[in-house]
Amino acid sequence: MGFKRPRGALGARKGLFRLTMRALVLLAALVAAAAGTETFVGHQVLRIVPTTDEELQKVQELQDLEELQLDFWLAPRGPGHPVDVRVPFPSLQPLKAHLEANGVSYSIMIEDVQALVDHERTEMLRGRRQRPISTNTFDYATYHSLDEIYAFMDLLVAENPNLVSKIEIGRSTENRPLYVLKFSKGGTNRPAVWIDTGIHSREWVTQASGVWFAKKIVLDHENDRDLASLLDKMDIFLEIVTNPDGFVFTQTQNRMWRKTRSRHSGSACIGVDPNRNWDAGFGGPGASSNPCSETYHGPYANSEPEVKAIVDFVKNHGNIKAFVSIHSYSQLLLYPYGYTSTPVPDQQELHQISKEAVTALSSLYGTNYKYGSIITTIYQASGGTIDWTYNQGIKYSFTFELRDTGRYGFLLPAKQIVPTAQETWLALKVIMLHALDHPY
């Protein structure tokens, strides 16, 4: 005879669950209010699709209207390509009227940005009830704070002292340590693969994927023949939180913060786009000289300590063979160049690797990726990471844009973290093994 639940117990439990969820939502709102956190009540994300050059120009002009306080999640590319914009509530009606008057079509991708932010915060609070005592009990299917990620790194190193070590490669503007995990079976200055996540702080699925990659390397380094052969000859360096100041700011003040947190004389606006700050076509088209812009390139190349730390590390190491910088969103795999339309000398090889990597990625869940050079696939962008690494002689330089294609954008639900990381890992393995099998 089975265990019989008392009548009414299920209803009571559902009621209790609802009360708990309401309490968590209220707690999240109170925490946000007490911290002076920026809210996005009434904000929507519109998808605008210009169909002609004239319409494209009308959309591009919106980028200069600072009074509307628009936040471009996907910048204008060309006719037929979607432009995603977070629009504050007071700007919604004027913007929609402007678009309609000019015959530019749009749709609402996210009806209420704050609702997604609240849900995300509630899930994080719910997952914080106990601190993991090992990386086996760590919850990879939720978003974590900087402290939690740094604590995870320490656990991983402590559990795997013969494989994993932690290196501090520098300090951020606000004096936070910039940590890199090194996966190595020994030897000095062996050929290496570099992977970084979270250079744009609001792209939370990237840091979360970086955490999952770290555990995956530890789990598979012996029983996965490909990974074992890679680590027999190469090291892997993984910087999970490349922009820690921005990351903390997204969790405490403004979930949509993208840039670093540096201050520059002559402007009240804070931060530099760390993916426009590298010394590759620095200050050219596709970056802004306006300190208030989301794509502000900074006062000079490598002005940001977060960028300079990687530059110094790469130069001092001198034997990095593959460099992968991971962003979100759009589902793209990109190779250089972004700052010039001149194809790289290795274009054919990089294109073929991208094709194979994307095929491997989509084999798991059918996720569809596009691939190509930055400038031909998205837009011209100067001062980008992988243009600089390629020009340093790192032939296998790639950038990923992870899930999704805009339904949630930067607010990707936590339940998609692990599937995103799993499929991306398959593509990363293609790139790493190609570098192993094609020494140069």
Q: Where are the alpha helices (DSSP H) in 221-323?
A: 225-233, 244-252, 305-317
Higher pLDDT, 327 or 129: 327
pLDDT at 314 over 50: yes
Q: What is the structure's pLDDT at 131?
A: 83
Number of CB atoms found within 10 A of residue 359's CB: 14
Reported in sequence order, the residue ranges of 330-395 that DSSP labels E, i.e. its strands, are 332-335, 370-373
What's the whole-number average pLDDT of the chain? 93
pLDDT > 70 fraction of the chain, expressed in percent and rounded:
92
The residue to which tokens 């786009």 are assigned: 273
pLDDT at 422 over 60: yes
Q: What is the structure's pLDDT at 30?
A: 62
pLDDT at 366 over 50: yes
Annotation marks residue 123 as catalytic: no
Range 57-64 average pLDDT:
91
Q: What is the structure's pLDDT at 262?
A: 98
In terms of Cα–Cα distance, which of 365, 357, 359 is closest to 334? 357
* Sequence-separated (6 or more) residues with CB below 8 Å from residue 260: 172, 173, 243, 245, 246, 271, 272, 274, 304, 306
Active-site residue identified among 55, 120, 401, 423: 401
Q: What is the structure's pLDDT at 7?
A: 47
CA distance 205 to 414: 8
Q: What is the structure's pLDDT at 127?
A: 75
Range 384-411 average pLDDT:
98
pLDDT tier, 37 (very low <50, low <70, confident <90, very high otherwise)? confident
pLDDT tier, 177 (very low <50, low <70, confident <90, very high otherwise)? very high
pTM: 0.92
pLDDT at 24 over 60: no
pLDDT at 2 over 70: no
